[in-house]
């Protein structure tokens, strides 16, 4: 449970400046990483040394839950174009104390935290005297996702929430993430901490970000004062999308999609795949989510590569290369994101740390892909926005240890080839599709773009390619025996 302390009440306050004058007992309890974060807050809000806070009863740095507390700053905009709003700033996702409390790691060259904090700007309602606390719960939910999945957020990422962020009837039901326009990255004793701002968006704006890219939509939001403006302030009462406010913006998105394609390279999804080349009773090669009593698991190398695909999904690469494996891993979390020049899964850097049997590639003759409706609706995006632009797209199962990566003929580092277009490393399947086949699939899958007319289950089949795709109800993927 979290408790709400009004501004000025006893509780967590900005610490004294670090140095020999700090009381020894206080210095030993207060996380040293918070000094720099509080310093940045006080730089921006010098008149608010003790803002209203939502905080866990047991502090994160004393053994409490992730995301210790959220400080809420009332911020009055300096001009008519920047309305009065609440500025929420979280603490707890970065490494605050440097004692490996967040994650154990090997080596001594990196911090144990995630290196970023979440912020959120909410338009202040008329007559509102205190900031609402629902944004704190929202940020807690995002923090739990980060800690449980070890997938970090990057500027330009999107979060499909499928519900009004404040549990009202609002059209603002999803989120984009970007650098906070005012909070500057800070250097702590345990590494750099950056601030990522949550921006509430409508479903139509989320879809545009998926089809094109999150940064492009964020730039459009900045040009529309009522939809965010330069500080990207979320107005939960906004009843129109940016495309309804200014129809010309849709033309800019359409042109961007045609020119750039999509920069979304992967999603977590309800999906599965079966190898139709072998009978399902063959335990060694069956690819159902669960084989016998034990689910098949991705190797650490494959897991890291898929995680890097999702992590770098909105970054533009000059060459379409599947993300490399970084041998300096920390519980599956890579802190060095610099792209490697290795082009193959069989590279020296990977085989040196992975047993040979885990990098063995199996060629499949026929496969059956399964998606829930939401995941299936992204297949046209995958084909048109990614593969036709020479890129790749990954579905990572959220209900089983399984992944599906679609690749085009221009992608380097793939283990699927034109000669063997279906290939697998354990439960990770890669499917290579030629441009001609992609065009054919887009024609056959056209009704996926009209979900309101969709009846489940739905099956698509290309016998000449020995490929079958099924769109199934969510409940199918929730079954542990599927």
pLDDT (0 to 100) of residue 455: 87
Distance spanning both ends of the chain, measured CA to CA: 36
Give the model's pLDDT for residue 420. Answer: 95
Per-residue model confidence (pLDDT) at position 265: 87
- By the 10 Å C-beta count (0-12 exposed, 13-18 middle, 19+ buried), 45 is classed as middle
* Strand residue runs (E) in 265-402: 266-269, 271-275, 290-291, 294-295, 362-363, 367-372, 392-397
Contacts of 360 (CB under 8 A, 6+ apart): 425
Low-confidence ranges of the chain (pLDDT < 50): 1-12, 16-27, 100-111, 282-295, 313-359, 481-482
Q: What is the pLDDT of residue 15?
A: 52
Find out whether 74 and 130 touch, Cβ atoms under 8 Å. no
User: Taking the mean position of all CA atoms in its chain, how far away is CA 459?
Assistant: 29
Whether 352 contacts 327, CB under 8 Å? yes
Preceding omega of 347 cis (within 30 degrees of 0): no
> Residue 124 gets which letter from DSSP?
P
Report the share of the chain in percent with pLDDT over 70. Answer: 69
pLDDT at site 334: 26
Q: DSSP for 412-460, please give it.
A: BT-S--SSS-EEEETTEEEEE--HHHHHHHHHHTGGGG-GGG--SSEEE
CA distance 174 to 327: 35
The pTM of this model reads 0.73
Beta strands in 249-305 (DSSP E): 266-269, 271-275, 290-291, 294-295
- DSSP H/E element including 175: strand 174-179
């Amino acid at each position: 449970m979290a408790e709400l302390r009004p501004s000025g009440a006893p509780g967590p306050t900005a610490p004294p400046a670090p140095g020999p004058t700090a009381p020894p007992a206080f210095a030993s309890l207060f996380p040293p990483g918070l000094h720099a974060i509080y310093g940045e807050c006080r730089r921006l809000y010098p008149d608010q040394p003790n803002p209203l806070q939502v905080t866990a009863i047991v502090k994160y740095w004393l053994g409490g839950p992730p995301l210790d507390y959220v400080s809420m700053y009332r911020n009055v905009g300096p001009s008519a174009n920047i309305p009065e709003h609440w500025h929420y700033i979280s603490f707890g996702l970065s490494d605050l104390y440097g004692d490996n409390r967040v994650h154990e790691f090997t080596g001594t060259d990196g911090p144990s935290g995630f290196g970023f904090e979440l912020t959120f700007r909410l338009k202040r309602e008329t007559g509102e005297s205190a900031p609402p606390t629902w944004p704190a719960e929202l940020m807690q939910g995002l923090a739990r996702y980060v800690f449980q999945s070890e997938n970090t957020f990057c500027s330009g990422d999107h979060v499909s929430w499928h519900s009004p962020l404040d549990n009202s009837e609002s059209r603002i039901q999803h989120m984009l993430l970007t650098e906070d326009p005012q909070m500057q990255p800070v250097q702590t004793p345990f590494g750099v901490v950056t601030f990522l701002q949550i921006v509430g968006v409508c479903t139509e704006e989320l879809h545009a970000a998926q089809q094109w890219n999150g940064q492009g939509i964020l730039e459009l939001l900045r040009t529309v004062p009522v939809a965010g403006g330069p500080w990207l302030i979320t107005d939960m009462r906004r009843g129109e999308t940016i495309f309804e406010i200014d129809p010309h913006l849709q033309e800019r998105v359409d042109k961007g999609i045609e020119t750039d394609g999509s920069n979304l390279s992967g999603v977590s999804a309800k999906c599965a795949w079966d190898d139709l080349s072998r009978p399902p009773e063959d335990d060694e090669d069956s690819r159902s989510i669960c084989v016998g009593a034990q689910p098949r698991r991705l190797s650490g190398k494959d897991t890291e590569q898929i995680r890097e695909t999702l992590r770098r999904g909105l970054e533009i690469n000059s060459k379409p290369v599947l993300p490399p494996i970084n041998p300096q891993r920390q519980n599956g979390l890579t802190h060095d994101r610099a792209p490697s020049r290795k082009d193959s899964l069989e590279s020296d850097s990977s085989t040196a740390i992975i047993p040979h049997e885990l990098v063995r590639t199996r060629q499949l003759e026929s496969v059956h892909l399964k998606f829930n409706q939401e995941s299936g609706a992204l297949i046209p995006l995958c084909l048109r926005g990614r593969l036709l632009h020479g890129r790749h797209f990954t579905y990572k199962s959220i209900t089983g240890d399984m992944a599906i990566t679609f690749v085009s003929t221009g992608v380097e580092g793939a283990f699927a080839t034109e000669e063997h277009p279906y290939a697998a490393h354990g439960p990770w399947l890669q499917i290579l599709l030629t441009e001609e086949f992609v065009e054919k699939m887009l024609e056959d899958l056209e009704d996926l773009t009209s979900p309101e007319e969709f009846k489940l289950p739905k099956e698509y089949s290309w016998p000449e390619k020995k490929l079958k795709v099924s769109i199934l109800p969510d409940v199918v993927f929730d079954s542990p025996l599927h």
